Chains A and B, each alone.
Chain A
Amino acid sequence: MALADTDHMERSAPGLSEATAGDFVTLLKPRVMSLVVFTAFVGLISAPATPNPLIAVIAVLAIAVGAGASGALNMWYDADIDAVMGRTASRPVPAGRVAPGEALAFGLVLSAFAVVTLGLMANWLAAALLAFTIVFYAVVYTMWLKRSTEQNIVIGGAAGALPPVIGWAAATGTVSLDSLLMFLIIFLWTPPHFWALALFKAEEYGRAGVPMMPNVSGARATRRQIFVYTVLTAVSGLLPVATGLAGPAYGVVALLLGAGFVHRAWRVLAMADSDRAMKPAKALFAYSLLYLFALFAALMADAVAARLIPGPWV
């Protein structure tokens, strides 16, 4: 009998990774990135400026890579939590395909490249906002808020809400009331989106020790807060009409989308305590994604129309 299982030693040779490029792409949270790219682009195209199209593309790419880098830093720090949650256990770090140090280095290097590229190609205000977003998400949200308060995703939501402000700043070099309105819409949208998920994943969050609202304040209080935030989101979705950022056509779309959002939140509010299937919460979670994409698509359509057909109505 051999003293050592050499086949096994060869399979797990130390220091040699089996991580593929796909694993590193997964570290960037591509689905979150798609929302970031889209909202940043809408912020950029809604701005009262016409940047060079190539510079605009590079700016959006830099914002996307910066957001992805903060996702990699999040996966590095949260590997212990991710390992005990079914939804995240197969992520590259908890699954052992990417070493924690590799994920950290990947996140830091990409963050630096994204911020410097945005600064050199667009402007340093946009770069500073991107750097703030990365630090806020990776340090303030991931390392501090997520494990310490049930308001984690409310405050942490600011990081996810900043991309349109960065896009606007990349185009104009300024932060304005209109770009802050886009921030407000995403900021208010974040709690109902994540708390709807937390309602039907409460057990997993509890097992991981993450103090989400349903685990700390209970399902009933969470359903009430979901409803309040959804109403506020629907109302904030109409504000771009009031400031002149968007026209009445956008207003009609925002009104219909908001009504659908509030209706689904109402069904969550009316959900019985004994409801284990939680279909209304799952429906609200799915609709919240559609709501944000459709609302920003309407803003984008409005901005494009305003550029193509200038007139007093837009």
Chain B
Amino acid sequence: MKHDLVKPTEAQLKARRNRSIALALALAAFVILVYLGSVAKLGPAILSRPM
């Protein structure tokens, strides 16, 4: 069966690319902040865990 697929316009493709890049940057920034924040919060004891 043949489906009628929606073909994105140039403007829609450009906007999607813009959103994707922004989302990737925001997620990367969030991951880095959580990592560095965890290190800062735990401090020097980060690797000392009771066995």
Chain A residues packing against B (C-beta within 8 Å): 10-11, 13-22, 24, 52, 54-55, 58, 61, 113, 117, 121
Whether the Cβ atoms of A13 and B9 lie closer than 8 Å is yes
Residues of B near A22 (CB, < 8 A) are 18
Q: A13-B6, A24-B22 are in contact. Are A18 and B11 (CB under 8 A)?
A: yes
A128 to B5, CA, bound (A): 47
**Besides the known contacts A19-B15, A52-B41, 14 further A-B residue pairs in the complex with CB atoms under 8 A apart:** A10-B7, A11-B11, A13-B8, A13-B12, A15-B6, A16-B8, A17-B16, A18-B12, A21-B21, A54-B36, A54-B40, A55-B40, A58-B37, A117-B33
- A110, chain B: closest CB distance, angstroms: 10
The distance in angstroms between the C-alpha atoms of A117 and B34, with both chains bound, is: 8
Lowest 9 A-B CB distances belong to which pairs? Answer: A21-B22, A54-B40, A13-B6, A16-B12, A18-B15, A52-B40, A20-B18, A121-B37, A58-B37
- Count class of interface residues, chain B: 20 to 34
Give the residues in chain B near A24, CB-CB below 8 Å. Answer: 19, 22
B10 to chain A, nearest CB (A): 10
Binding site for A on B (CB under 8 A): 6-9, 11-12, 15-16, 18-19, 21-23, 30, 33-34, 36-37, 40-41
Asked whether A55 lies within 8 Å of B41 as measured between CB atoms, the reply is yes
- Report the minimal beta-carbon distance from A270 to chain B, rounded to whole angstroms: 49
A61 to B41, CA, bound (A): 16
Residue in B12, B21, B30 with the greatest tally of chain A CB atoms within 10 Å: B12
Within the assembled complex, what's the spacing in Å between the Cα atoms of A22 and B22? 9
- CB neighbours (8 Å) of B34 from chain A are 117, 121
A31 to B50 CA separation, bound complex (whole angstroms)? 48
Contact check, A20 vs B37: say whether CB atoms are below 8 A apart: no
Evaluate contact between B6 and A14: CB separation under 8 angstroms: yes
Q: Are A13 and B7 closer than 8 Å at their CB atoms?
A: yes
Specify which of A17, A54, A113 is in contact with B12 (CB 8 Å cutoff).
A17
Q: Assess the A19–B19 pair: CB atoms within 8 A.
A: yes
Which residue in A20, A54, A58 is a CB contact (below 8 Å) of B15?
A: A20
Q: Report 22 cross-chain contacts, Cβ distance below 8 Å, ordered by A residue.
A: A10-B7, A10-B9, A13-B8, A14-B6, A16-B8, A16-B9, A17-B16, A18-B12, A18-B15, A21-B18, A21-B22, A21-B23, A52-B41, A54-B36, A54-B37, A54-B40, A55-B37, A55-B40, A61-B33, A113-B30, A117-B33, A121-B34
By a CB distance below 8 angstroms, the chain A residues around B6 are 13-16
